[in-house]
Structure 1
């Protein structure tokens, strides 16, 4: 080689088995060990409940060893439901098993309308994984695919934990999956992220529901630091207002703790939370965070159609609704799906949807019109009035359709003059009654809402339309409450016949409760209806009031006075074509004569009533006619003539959705079977009767019929 620089370019002195570097100067740079990132936020210091969630997560984690790809877990739920806290709690428990590092980023720090670009997240993760020594430059990839490949290479050697918070779409997640198959990626989101399950079918989906009362109380006390911060009633009010939303419970606990520290009465906060008008304001920490602020961000991200539906549902008096009603209010089915996807609506059983209580409060506030049925505040916002009209009209039509299926009695309300709108709504009485069962609380609230917002005619018409449902299902507390509202609403209008009819409805509800303490109230309202009807010369109402008074006399053991009222009721009808009314009065007169031991006349009238009801047809009252005919035969000491009509009555009533009357018939048939020595068959009827009485009674205490059935069974 050349000699110009005075350096001999040769190597001597032995045998070399490896590459040799020959240079004037050699500088050796000792590499530093890359720092392992630990980006997870701190675990929550206070945490309650979620035991089933952690059990599912533990099972999934235990199966990581057999996986060919990272475990992906999506944690979904309402804003404020504790998704991030749950994820951090679990990931910190796993942390020691992930030498590849712990990564975390917020995927929508400016809200769901501005989701974070995953390329920006990858640049940050790569920098952290490279110990901050490696910078993104011309020699490094800058496109999404290149960054994702480089990230997978950096995470290929050891399991890594990744928390992606507030994810908006599955497309944000896919590039951020680490390279090592033992890694875990937890995704928190309001959205179901269905696309992620399409591309990664083994994704574990965990949904967070509201805390139960016990867990809510535990969290509240942990935040206040005082187990005696509120007395039990006030605490229950607070937890009920928070509706199991952890954020709301934490804010309420923090505010109560502050009030205690400053010597103020925390019960005042409880009162603010009970009142829907001040609840969201009470769940606010000034200049920091609030429940309303969290929901505002969700609402602001909605397209106009979905936002309009959200506001409309906020004006519904309860937070649960029929899916059919929601669809009727929506511009498109897509708006319904949007609210479900955003977790603002949740499935609530077959054909039902619901809003979390605080979401419903927020939606009502967003609508701009507060409707408080207790104070008769009215909705004045331009959005509100049409929504309330929609609700009142929908429930009125639905109640009228149920009434149409359960009875062919005469009704005064104009809705019943349009049978084409009613007859095809349900396939039969059972389907109609079951549909109204699901909406019972709603329709009671809508009656109050209609009256409170000046829709008085609709309120009393709803009251009239609900009689068939309440009569069959025996919800007497709701029935009486609705009828009291109906009377008040009718009195606000200029229709005196409606007032008379509402007194009639209220009297009927009191009388049907089968409580002697209500008999006097029933009599007063029948008398009031009769006085008005006579003055107005309204024959149908006059006849019905006399019929009701006769039934009260019959119950009081005065059959002759009862018979006199029934005959006057027939006379009041004069030449009115009212076959059902005449059938009922024939039936009642037969009962009165049977109680007066005029057996032959009673039997004739009851069989005639049965034939009249069969001709209508009215299977419910046909069955009752046969039942009372059997009772009349027993009073006449002819038990051999009682069993056959009871068999017919039992078959007919079973199709009518009337459990109380079915129980009455089975109880009597069991008695007849017992007199014939057929004890096993008798006990079967008594057991069936007891089950029906218990079902009807619910939590209202044991009825006279239930006690009778239990005594016969030796209980």
Structure 2
């Protein structure tokens, strides 16, 4: 060539055109990178721990795309949380941002992932490929998608996923990619195939975050007075959707010059709460939950509605199993986050969800469920009662033919009392519900069956409340024996509480029990009422009057086979003798009572007899005869689940030990007694134990 530059190609075989040039400029069309993420939420609060967990997961080394699953109740903000985080990451993912709704028509009609694949591929291609230019089979589509996402990290957001299969086909090819999945379902299969899947659960907002969100939506930090705001937020129960709707409605009312107070009142009443959490023709909490309910299989939906008839949103797992048609229905509600663990053996339903379950179940529930719930709690209470005491009860469930079945419910006293402890609030609520709905026989029987639990655990406020309802229900039933027994139960609860007013109330109800029982000739209740009146006299320091009542109570049992009643009255007469300084008579009676209780057996009252015997020996100036019975009483009482009475024994044993010069052992007893008194909120006992520890420090 003219410039002397040699331009030759040697060697090799070439097919097609060959270009030789000093400079070659290739112009490629710009690759279109999709940006499909929905907008980040304008208002967003809290979730700091969630974002910290997500950031830690994103920074971790990996050889495959990171899969993050965000779970939570409908309305808990799963989509908003995912979008907020994905937008924060967006600049670092040049491979594109993809988003797909995997169940736009609800979980019963999940979207075919092949359809989502086709959409993603179309957005990722440099130009829209004609339908025939893409693979026809699902596996080919997935491979093509992975190829298109292999060169650069991509963000993929899969919202409202129903099954693990919807996710697997949509995992991008680049190992630096991030896939965020939102779902109400556990997607166990996804975690099985991708063990490093990070699961983040969203819980309810706390009060501070709820207030921040509410004020951000209303645009008014002074929208509601603080007490009213607290009630509104409590009604929303930390559900972000509910807080947003409440804030939007309050903001609208303020803009139009209307008082939001009526709305606040509607929100605090569970009967009108869901209706109040509605933006007309736009959005409502009820609509979201309606879709959830509609997506359940028949058995799970029936269980959901049935739990709405329960008066509280937290339940024993045993109760849920009892209500369910099949165990799988329970698993379904747990799997779909409609029930969540609430401690060992407990399940909880979100408060607003519980309101919805009650509403779709018809308020009172299906198939007389409130009455059935009362029966379930009654059986549990009766089973605990037979484990705690051998006392006589009037309720038909305590007939001898039921004894074997009741004793099989729990294996021992502690298990029985602990089970009722966990369900204490529920039991009181069930009593109130049963009374309001006319299940009066169950109410007074529950009152009687709860005697041993309340007596051992000392929840006097609940105890007296239940007894008042029991009395009212017995009067509605028109059963005079039940009325007399409920007067006795209420009197006993007041007497055990102590204090001038409580003792006056106890005296009144013991008197009424005596009058009713005498009028119908019910000797057992006559004896019980006289026993109670005698105990009040003994507490007031009138030992002679007390002994008179006790002797009349013994006479009332003439001809009745009631060994426990006679043992108790022997015990009380021994206490009266001791108070009257008839020391030897007291010792003999208390030891005889101890033997009678041991024969029943009744370890609780056997221990009390030994404790009072020890006190009687101290009053008789015989401290050397007090320590051994106190040792035996302490060992017995420790097995009875009665912390107050166990503390009483230990307090007295500490006194005896320190008098014998054994201060270290005495301090151990007093410290244990103090902890037990504090456990049952016994102010008098706590004060006594602290005084001894102060006077005799280690």
TM-score range, shorter chain: over 0.9
Q: Does 1:21 align with 2:17?
A: yes
Instruction: Please give the alpha-carbon distance, in whole angstroms, between the structure 2 residues aligned to 1:58 and 1:274.
Output: 38
> Quick one: which of 332, 336, 359 aligns to 2:353?
359
Aligned to 2:272: 278
Instruction: Please give the alpha-carbon distance, in whole angstroms, between the structure 1 residues aligned to 2:675 and 2:520.
Output: 46
Instruction: Please give the alpha-carbon distance, in whole angstroms, between the structure 2 residues aligned to 1:694 and 1:317.
Output: 30
Deviations 1:379-437 (A, max 9, x none): 4xxx5343223211111111100000000000000000021220111111001001111
Deviations 1:217-240 (A, max 9, x none): 121122112222112221111111
Aligned to 1:104: 99
Deviations 1:99-127 (A, max 9, x none): 11111111111111111111111111111
User: Secondary structure at 2:133's aligned position in 1?
Assistant: coil
User: Secondary structure at 1:492's aligned position in 2?
Assistant: helix
Instruction: Please give the alpha-carbon distance, in whole angstroms, between the structure 2 residues aligned to 1:176 and 1:20.
Output: 38
Q: Which runs of 5+ in 2 are unaligned?
A: 1-5, 20-24
User: Secondary structure at 2:68's aligned position in 1?
Assistant: strand
Instruction: Please give the alpha-carbon distance, in whole angstroms, between the structure 1 residues aligned to 2:627 and 2:200.
Output: 59
Instruction: Please give the alpha-carbon distance, in whole angstroms, between the structure 2 residues aligned to 1:67 and 1:14.
Output: 50
Instruction: Please give the alpha-carbon distance, in whole angstroms, between the structure 2 residues aligned to 1:537 and 1:303.
Output: 57
For these two proteins, the number of residue pairs brought into alignment is 681
Instruction: Please give the alpha-carbon distance, in whole angstroms, between the structure 2 residues aligned to 1:515 and 1:37.
Output: 76
- CA drift of 1:322 comes to 1.2
Aligned to 1:6: none
User: Secondary structure at 2:360's aligned position in 1?
Assistant: helix
State how 1:467-486 maps to structure 2 within 5 Å. Answer: 467-486=451-470
Instruction: Please give the alpha-carbon distance, in whole angstroms, between the structure 2 residues aligned to 1:53 and 1:603.
Output: 67
Aligned to 2:368: 386
Aligned to 1:345: 339
Instruction: Please give the alpha-carbon distance, in whole angstroms, between the structure 1 residues aligned to 2:244 and 2:136.
Output: 43
Instruction: Please give the alpha-carbon distance, in whole angstroms, between the structure 1 residues aligned to 2:338 and 2:237.
Output: 14
Q: Does 1:678 align with 2:662?
A: yes
Contact 1:123-1:136 at 8 Å conserved across structures: no
User: Secondary structure at 1:173's aligned position in 2?
Assistant: helix
Q: Which runs of 5+ in 1 are unaligned?
A: 1-12, 371-378
> Quick one: which of 53, 72, 92 aligns to 2:50?
53
State how 1:364-375 maps to structure 2 within 5 Å. Answer: 364-368=358-362, 370=363
Aligned to 1:39: 36
Instruction: Please give the alpha-carbon distance, in whole angstroms, between the structure 1 residues aligned to 2:386 and 2:204.
Output: 40
Aligned to 2:85: 90
Q: Does 1:186 align with 2:180?
A: yes
Instruction: Please give the alpha-carbon distance, in whole angstroms, between the structure 1 residues aligned to 2:361 and 2:324.
Output: 15
Aligned to 2:302: 308
Instruction: Please give the alpha-carbon distance, in whole angstroms, between the structure 2 residues aligned to 1:674 and 1:363.
Output: 60
- CA drift of 1:523 comes to 0.6
- CA drift of 1:20 comes to 7.1
* CA RMSD, 1 decimal: 1.6
Tell me which stretches of 4 or more aligned residues in structure 1 moved more than 3 Å: 16-23, 28-31
Deviations 1:458-493 (A, max 9, x none): 110011000000000111111000000000100101
User: Secondary structure at 1:236's aligned position in 2?
Assistant: helix
Instruction: Please give the alpha-carbon distance, in whole angstroms, between the structure 1 residues aligned to 2:317 and 2:29.
Output: 62
Q: Does 1:115 align with 2:110?
A: yes
> Quick one: which of 531, 534, 538 aligns to 2:522?
538
Instruction: Please give the alpha-carbon distance, in whole angstroms, between the structure 2 residues aligned to 1:339 and 1:154.
Output: 39
User: Secondary structure at 1:470's aligned position in 2?
Assistant: helix
- CA drift of 1:16 comes to 4.2
State how 1:26-425 maps to structure 2 within 5 Å. Answer: 30-63=27-60, 66-131=61-126, 133-368=127-362, 370=363, 379=364, 384-417=366-399, 418-425=402-409
Contact 1:136-1:142 at 8 Å conserved across structures: no
- CA drift of 1:14 comes to 5.2
Normalising by structure 2, we get a TM-score of 0.96
